[in-house]
Amino acid sequence: MSDKRLSFLGILAIVSVAGAVFVSQFVNRSKTTSSGTGYLIQGLDPAAIAKIAVGKGDEAFTLRRAGNGFVVENKDNYPADTMMINNLLTSCMDIRTVELYTQDEANYKDLGAGEEDAQSVVKFLDLGGKIITGVIIGKDCPSGGMYYGRRVGDKKVYVMDNVPWPGSSPLEYIDRNLISMSKAEIESVTVTSPQGSYTLVPEANSAEAMLKELPAGKKEKKNECSQVFSAIMNLRFDDVNAVSKMTGLKFDREYTCLLKDSTLYLIEIAQKDSNTYVKCNVAFTDKTQVRKEQGVESREELEKKEAKLLAKEKTQKLQKTFEGWVYEIPSYRADYMTKTLDELVEDIAPAKPADANEPKKTVQKSK
């Protein structure tokens, strides 16, 4: 068995143990007493959860288990952020009941304890669609920081503490960081549009960017060049949809970024009305094989090979994430990524005669 395989199994074992501890921690907690104090949700096994329904009415959305994670059904099954799912689960299980307030359903409306009047609702469902448990978050209590609410399926309304806000949009459960890098990693940026193309490269001994080819009689607008060069850095998206749903878009512009480690990002850009949409692709352009050399290799050489393998693995993973999706990006980033060459240059001012701005000197005659 390879070292890599052994390492993977070791990590898997750690995750399994952590999961067991997690489940045990919440299953074995003290139950709510007759006075109403304790944890609202008892004995929930996270492994039994197949779906999580968040919100109410037309604003409700669903998170569905898929493989080792969850997807957001209302966003064409885009992968959900695992950390956000874990936070939702643990925060719901951490809700504490301070006191039993009422069991009379006639009071539900005033307290926001009915689903239709609640501030929010979270339901955990099993594979068959049956509700396991959940929480209905009602109105704020007069005592600050607490809420009225109840467990789904239970008539008892409690004053609850440590109540989370589960969110109101499916996008809140998506990691909207699209591409991350530092400016120092960038080798070149090429922008292509129906008006032509140009390439920006780092300026030597400077943090600025410069045009690889500067038109005759022109000079660069340094600020605009830097904006285009760094437009891809820490790129986030505002919305995401499946390619199949985004018809009628014309991807007639491209923003290409080559990194120093041979990673190549290709962003296809379409503009419609006031919105900008992109399709992303990434590839590792260095096709030379990494081989173990005979004899002892230096630490520096081994680190280079490891970095290359990691970069290649990262691009493959990212490409799988990008495939099949159209992202809407912020307008200000779109403006930078679609600037034409004419917007990056200006005319060089003609040189003025040497004496044009100098006062004429008066020569005094000697007496």
What residue spans define the domains of the chain?
A: 29-173, 177-289+303-347
**How high is the pLDDT of residue 295?**
65
Burial of 255 (0-12, 13-18, 19+ CB in 10 A): buried
Distance spanning both ends of the chain, measured CA to CA: 108
Q: What is the pLDDT of residues 209-231, one digit of tens each?
A: 999 999 999 999 999 999 999 99
Greatest CA separation for the chain? 120
CA gap 20, 15 in Å, rounded = 9
Q: What is the pLDDT of residues 147-168, one digit of tens each?
A: 999 999 999 999 999 999 999 9
Q: What is the pLDDT of residues 114-149, one digit of tens each?
A: 999 999 999 999 999 999 999 999 999 997 889 999
**How high is the pLDDT of residue 352?**
75
Q: What is the pLDDT of residues 298-350, one digit of tens each?
A: 777 777 788 888 889 999 999 999 999 999 999 999 999 999 999 999 999 88
**How high is the pLDDT of residue 206?**
85
- Give the β-pairing of 239-242 and 251-259: unpaired
Residue for token pair 């030597």 = 204
CB 263 within 8 A of CB 282: yes
From 146, 356, 340, 156, select the one nearest 253 (Cα to Cα).
340
**How high is the pLDDT of residue 299?**
77
Residue 22 has pLDDT above 50, yes or no: no
CA gap 20, 31 in Å, rounded = 20
CB 60 within 8 A of CB 53: yes
Dihedral sign from CA coordinates of 314, 315, 320, 324 = positive
DSSP 71-134: EEGGGTTEEPPHHHHHHHHHHHHT-EEEEEEE--GGGHHHHT-STTT-SEEEEEE-TTS-EEEE
CB 113 within 8 A of CB 120: no
Average pLDDT score over the chain:
88
Model-level pTM?
Answer: 0.81
**How high is the pLDDT of residue 1?**
42
